[in-house]
Structure 1
Amino acid sequence: MWVRSQNKLHLVNTDDISLINKNIYAENILLGEYSSNEKAMEVLDKIQKYIVNRELLKNAEEGGYWAVYEMPQNELKAEVL
């Protein structure tokens, strides 16, 4: 997906976006700086929703299925098989 940085200096085509210490990066390029991890997480959540909506529309036309798996929190207990 294409993402433009906050400062408008970078336009990056990436599949790898990360939140590190209140900042969002793609391919080692700083895309945005935020005042807290919570605010940066809100932006990351919006990016995820954009990706899901885009892929759902694209795959609906092709008759396919697509989803994003979210990793569970550490506090969750593992199921015993």
Structure 2
Amino acid sequence: MWIRSQDKKRLINTSNLYVFGTCLKSSDVDFALGNYKSEERALEVLDIIQSRIIKGATFDYINNSKRTTKEFVFQMPEE
């Protein structure tokens, strides 16, 4: 899944996310994707990402008989 970091400076494709204290991290990179006021809030954001994964990371639509497929990019929420 594509995720844009909270500071909007990084865009990564990851499949491994975890909460480390108040941070949400990916095992693919060496930085936090988002920092939150509590571990509970970080877990809430992880739950939101899980919900998005269940819905699917790609979607398509038809406009003027042309089918277009796009991939969803999750934007890490601000605090």
Number of the residue aligned with 2:25: 25
| RMSD of aligned alpha carbons | 1.5
Quote how far apart the aligned CAs of 1:29 are. 2.6
As a proportion of its length, which structure holds more helix?
1
Q: Which consecutive unaligned segments of at least 5 residues does structure 2 have? A: 60-79
- What CA distance in whole angstroms lies between the structure 1 residues aligned with 2:48 and 2:34? 13
Q: How many residues align?
A: 56
| Identity of matched residues, % | 39
| 1:11-38 Cα deviation digits (max 9, x unpaired) | 0100001100110011233100000011
Which structure has the larger Rg over C-alpha atoms?
Answer: 1
TM-score by length of 2: 0.66
Written as runs of structure 1 = structure 2, the 5 A alignment for 1:1-81 is 1-26=1-26, 27=28, 28-54=30-56
Ranges of 4+ aligned residues in structure 1 off by more than 4 Å: none
